[in-house]
Amino acid sequence: MSVYEDEQGPKRLHYELERMIKQVNNREIGELNGTISFRQLVEVSSSVARLRARYLQSVLALPADNAENAVEAARACELKQLREAYCEAQ
């Protein structure tokens, strides 16, 4: 048995697992949310973009806000919250 043949089993298993997860996701999301419209996708995308813009705005303001090159703990917590909100919505 070659190394190539040994690798095919796990690769195939991984492929099947991903395929099954996708099917279950589609079914469950469809049951809970129904058909998602294009308008809904645009609204969600816009919300994510606004969250990202607020996060990036705060990150880009860091050099101006911190002349001593030290980020204050409160500022770091604010950035973390903005990043988490963006990442969660994404």
What are the residue ranges spanned by the domains of the chain? 1-34, 36-90
Nearest-CA neighbor of 75 among 61, 87, 89?
61
pLDDT one digit per residue (tens) for the chain, 90 residues? 555 566 778 888 999 999 999 999 999 988 998 888 999 999 999 999 999 999 999 988 887 666 666 778 888 899 999 999 999 998
Residue with tokens 């043949």: 5
**pTM tops 0.85, yes or no:** no
- How high does pLDDT run on average in the chain? 87
d(CA 59, CA 21): 36
Output the pLDDT for position 61.
Answer: 86
